[in-house]
Structure 1
Amino acid sequence: MARVSLTSAVARGVFLLIALVVPLLVAPAGAVARPGDAGSYLKSMKRTSGDLWTMTVHSAAMGQDIPLQVLRPSANRAGAPTLYLLNGAGGGEDKANWLRQTDALRFFGDKFVNVVIPQKGIGSYYTDWISRDPAIGRPMWQTFLTRELPPILDRALNTNGRRAIAGLSMSATSVLQLAISSPGLYRSVASYSGCARTSTPEGQAAVRGIVFSASQANADNMWGPVASPVWTHRDPYLNAEKLRGTTLYLSSGSGLAGRYDTVDSQAPGAPPLIDQVTVGGAIEAATRSCTVNLAEKLRALRIPATVHLPTTGTHSWGYWQDELHRSWPTVARGLRS
């Protein structure tokens, strides 16, 4: 596996850059009462078009309704597993989401799987916050995704109870954190362009910057001040042992411009090309370093993982679409086991 030659000083600079400039990469029926965990329930479910459905689930932990986009198998829907597909820093509340930026709807059209995409979560890291924040309240996404939502989905979609989870950028860290918080809940985890080192000074700086830039929230309300033990408790690198037994897929580009870093190949609503190449390149170089470090930790622990480290690629949607395709055989294998 190739190493990324970043000195600690350069790496620190890159992470601080992430903290400052992530916003440049963020693009501008009747109720059915079915109880979930501690008062959560399915509020509505309707077909939008074809295999695309819209669901609304009330989260008791967050005291609000959570909209979900759901891709269902075209036929013989009963007994399919479920893939939770998380958006990035915008939480799907902006144009930078899986359905608008990728071919996910078409890609999963012939797959026997339910794909569930939450349409909230901006700047939240899809985690449980320890305190209420003036900007975004008190997100409780870990509770929602691991305790409230699964039984509701299993009943509403008549699933087989098997789950996988995948995410990009901010949520590429989140999916690893969710997996270590509930070992065995997800049979497969795919992390595209994320960073598992959340408790180091550089990791904290990046997380705090992403939280603030996306939502103007204070990450002290998420995991506490710098010295809080919550930061290490939620660090997937430090807790990698809890990933044992999970089918893992990790990927990151190198930060060098590639096939999607041209005017003709940019996704609709993408940031200016200069930002995609320079800012997106710097961010992807940092996530590459993180991905290499986690892969090495997993290898030292003798925990198998499929790792893809292409020689080019910036922090942008074209590459994440490719990784969604590339990772599917791995994810599907875990769902079958």
Structure 2
Amino acid sequence: MPFVPRLPRVSRRHRIRSRWGARLLTVGVGALAIPAASAVATPEIVLAAPISGPVHRTPAGGFEELMVPSSMGPVKVQVQWAKNGGGAALYLLDGLRARDDQNAWVINTNAMQQFENDDVTLVMPVGGQSSWYADWVSPSNTNGQKFTYRWETFLTKELPDFLAGYGVSRTDNAVAGLSMSGPAALRLAAFYPKQFKHASSFSGPLNLTAPGMPEAMRVMMLSAGQFNRDSLAPPWSPTWLRMDPFVFAPQLRGVPMYISAATGLPGEYDRPNSAGAVVDTFDAMWIESLAMVGTRALQARLSSLNIPAVYDFPVAGTHSWKYWEGELWKARPYILSALNT
């Protein structure tokens, strides 16, 4: 793989807090994913007050935070504007434990450095913990949520409409997701092909109707914000089936895709040096191996439909950010090609 700058590691306490354990998965799961943190130095941020009009506060290639109106209330979106002011954009979606202050692609990877010399705007929404980036049927009644998640509407209508005022195309976009957002990235490209010209999924649970997955998702979502899975969608309902790449696979015909998952065997970024680190690494191994199962299942499904995709199945690698950083670098040429940049 071409050289990708390595960034500093964070404390073990932060990593452990950011990762859910394999013991949640003993209910019997298909492939599922939750990002493990490996935070890096945060770039200098230009804080922006809510913006009511298309006014660039930073030059082309600069980093900015916007507050975007939505049916969920204002949503923070972090952007790195295209190097030369072009209209193409790459949406980078977060994982199950998405934070409310920053998108993890900003703080846990060198994604911005990877695209800093490309004429592509990086669009990194903040928030959406346990949302699966879907439109929910109701607010979660297990954590006092005051509004209904409407993330699909936000990503496909409200956000592109807002960014259009800044010269970002509504149609020349790509989308990438890891873990929880892997199936979301594929779903957005499948159902909104006029908006998204490429989709990447890294270590995503790509067979949500597999035996055990609805039950596993309930446990996952309760552990990440006390969200009620049934407020997302009743299992086996049309809304639930619409979220599953294995089910909507025929809709992916004609969509350029990059899909990856590793075996879960420890790799170059796994160097546990304490008992806690060993447990942490084991969790990441177990989760990634399950992601591999679901990803292979979708590969077989797409193959049966004669739908091509670019796949990467590293022989080593666990469920953590440094590996997703590397997968984004591998997907980058395919993303740029699809966007004609």
User: Corresponding residue for 2:9?
Assistant: none
Q: Is 2:251 aligned against 1:232?
A: no
Distance change (3 Å), C-alpha of 1:86 and 1:48 = farther
Q: Are the aligned partners of 1:154 and 1:160 in contact in 2 as well (CA < 8 Å)? A: yes
Q: Write out aligned runs for 1:289-304 (5 A).
A: 289-304=293-308
Pick the aligned partner of 1:185 from 183, 192, 195: 195
Q: 3-state SS of the aligned residue for 2:175? A: strand
Q: CA shift at 1:30, angstroms?
A: 5.5
Q: Is 2:321 aligned against 1:314?
A: no
Q: Is 2:219 aligned against 1:209?
A: yes
Cα distance in structure 2, aligned partners of 1:288 and 1:15: 17
Q: Deviations over 1:26-70 (max 9, x none)?
A: 679555435xxxxxxx7x8644997211111010x22x1000110
Q: Are the aligned partners of 1:18 and 1:283 in contact in 2 as well (CA < 8 Å)? A: no
User: Corresponding residue for 2:165?
Assistant: 155
Q: CA shift at 1:178, angstroms?
A: 2.2
Gaps in structure 1 of 5+ consecutive residues: 1-12, 35-41, 265-270
Q: 3-state SS of the aligned residue for 2:339? A: helix
Distance change (3 Å), C-alpha of 1:187 and 1:95 = closer
Distance change (3 Å), C-alpha of 1:237 and 1:287 = same
Distance change (3 Å), C-alpha of 1:298 and 1:192 = same
Q: Write out aligned runs for 1:68-83 (5 A).
A: 68-74=77-83, 76-77=84-85, 79-83=86-90
Distance change (3 Å), C-alpha of 1:91 and 1:45 = farther
Q: Is 2:43 aligned against 1:33?
A: no
One-letter code aligned to 2:254: G
Structure 1 stretches of 4+ moved >4 Å:
21-24, 26-31
Q: Is 2:336 aligned against 1:335?
A: no
Distance change (3 Å), C-alpha of 1:312 and 1:331 = same
Cα distance in structure 2, aligned partners of 1:118 and 1:201: 31
Q: 3-state SS of the aligned residue for 1:336? A: coil
Q: CA shift at 1:156, angstroms?
A: 1.4
User: Corresponding residue for 1:57?
Assistant: 68
Distance change (3 Å), C-alpha of 1:33 and 1:165 = same
Q: Are the aligned partners of 2:35 and 2:319 in contact in 1 as well (CA < 8 Å)? A: no
One-letter code aligned to 1:295: Q
Comparing 65-74 with 86-95, greater Cα deviation is found at 86-95
Q: CA shift at 1:147, angstroms?
A: 1.4
Cα distance in structure 2, aligned partners of 1:95 and 1:308: 28
User: Corresponding residue for 1:165?
Assistant: 175
User: Corresponding residue for 1:245?
Assistant: 254
Cα distance in structure 2, aligned partners of 1:302 and 1:24: 31
In the superposition, the TM-score normalised over structure 1's length comes to 0.82
Higher normalized helix content (fraction of residues): 1
* Equivalent residue pairs, number: 307
Q: Percent of counterpart pairs with the same letter? A: 31
Q: CA shift at 1:200, angstroms?
A: 2.8
One-letter code aligned to 2:97: G
Q: Are the aligned partners of 1:251 and 1:308 in contact in 2 as well (CA < 8 Å)? A: yes
Comparing 279-288 with 79-88, greater Cα deviation is found at 79-88
Distance change (3 Å), C-alpha of 1:103 and 1:18 = farther
Q: 3-state SS of the aligned residue for 1:157? A: coil
RMSD: 3.1
Q: Deviations over 1:85-138 (max 9, x none)?
A: 011112243678111111112111111100000111111111000012132331
Q: Are the aligned partners of 1:199 and 1:235 in contact in 2 as well (CA < 8 Å)? A: yes
One-letter code aligned to 1:115: L
Cα distance in structure 1, aligned partners of 2:60 and 2:97: 24
One-letter code aligned to 1:217: F
Q: Is 2:3 aligned against 1:16?
A: no
Pick the aligned partner of 1:305 from 286, 305, 309: 309
Gaps in structure 2 of 5+ consecutive residues: 1-23, 40-47
Q: Is 2:206 aligned against 1:196?
A: yes
